[in-house]
């Protein structure tokens, strides 16, 4: 779920005007913000598996610090505590609203995710899997977003701005849902360049480095042997064997691709 998370922001703003909307936007997406950082740092793991769901190809197989129930409870508690240290937002009411905004991310994710949300660590993974039904997931996302926007619209000071912002979010979701090619693992169109690393294969670019080294070594051996051969006359037998071996190695690496 993406734009549906902003529904909790709209509801929180309608409940407490002291909390700016930008802070609520950050709160409802905080879990994903930290997930992105942790993935880049190698702390949490994700891989591309085309066809794993009908909506996206992400296999979120290890994210215990951001998307486990225990993890999101800790992040929600942290949001509450931070709120108490800021004089403008200090108070039980504002702290609970911000904490609820953070926690709402996990609740909405539980509906759409496949079983990849754990209780803690990798224990007790759960998820209702609505992402396996693309249209139904889109309808839920739109319904949740519009409910939250309606709550805020009744008391919003800038109704026109809110209206166009919601239209923008809807357009983003429509584009992301219906205009991206379905991740079904089908072969690329004719004429397109295939990916050097097959998605979902569990391999990274580093897996191809040994083959690159072998090819480079073979080229060097081939070039050295060629220079060692006489310009005229019959080449030495040892040079011929080196050239033949290097040429065979290059052909074998080219055919197998290091697999």
**Per-residue model confidence (pLDDT) at position 71:** 97
Residue 228 has pLDDT above 60, yes or no: no
pLDDT band at 223, cuts 50/70/90? very low
Q: Which residue has the higher pLDDT, 55 or 231?
A: 55
CB within 8 Å of 147: residues ≥ 6 apart: 7
Report the predicted TM-score, pTM, of the whole model to 2 decimal places: 0.70
Residue 61 has pLDDT above 90, yes or no: yes
Q: How far is C-alpha 54 from the chain's CA centre?
A: 15
Contact 186, 161 (CB under 8 A): no
From the list 180, 192, 141, the residue with the least C-alpha distance to 58 is 180
The answer to whether the Cα torsion of 139, 144, 149, 154 is positive or negative is: positive
**Per-residue model confidence (pLDDT) at position 181:** 58
- The whole-angstrom separation of Cα 85 and Cα 92 is 12
Residue 14 has pLDDT above 70, yes or no: yes
Residue 183 has pLDDT above 70, yes or no: no
Mean pLDDT of 41-53: 94
Q: Which tokens hold the place of 197?
A: 């690393």
Mean pLDDT of 36-48: 96
Residue 108 has pLDDT above 50, yes or no: yes
| Of 165-169, 171-175, 194-198, the least confident | 194-198
């Amino acid at each position: 779920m993406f734009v549906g998370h902003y529904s909790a922001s709209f509801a929180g703003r309608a409940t407490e005007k002291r909390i700016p909307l930008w802070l609520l936007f950050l709160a409802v997406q905080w879990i994903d913000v930290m997930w992105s950082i942790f993935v880049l740092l190698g702390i949490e793991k994700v891989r591309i598996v085309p066809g794993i769901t009908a909506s996206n190809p992400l296999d979120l197989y290890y994210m215990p610090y951001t998307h486990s129930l225990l993890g999101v409870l800790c992040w929600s508690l942290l949001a509450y505590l931070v709120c108490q240290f800021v004089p403008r937002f200090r108070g039980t009411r504002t702290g609970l609203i911000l904490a609820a905004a953070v926690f709402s991310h996990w609740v909405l994710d539980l509906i759409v995710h496949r079983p990849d949300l754990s209780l803690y660590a990798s224990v007790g993974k759960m998820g209702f899997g609505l992402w396996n039904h693309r249209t139904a997931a889109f309808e839920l996302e739109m319904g949740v977003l519009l409910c939250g926007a309606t709550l805020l619209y009744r008391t919003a000071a800038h109704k026109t701005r809110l209206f166009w912002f919601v239209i923008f979010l809807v357009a983003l979701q429509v584009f992301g849902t219906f205009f991206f090619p379905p991740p079904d693992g089908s072969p690329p169109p004719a004429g397109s360049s295939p990916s050097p690393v097959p998605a979902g294969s569990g391999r990274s670019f580093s897996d191809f480095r040994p083959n690159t080294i072998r090819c480079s070594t073979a080229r060097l051996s081939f070039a050295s042997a060629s220079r060692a051969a006489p310009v005229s006359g019959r080449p030495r037998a040892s040079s011929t064997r080196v050239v033949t071996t290097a040429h065979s190695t290059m052909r074998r690496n080219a055919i197998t691709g290091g697999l």
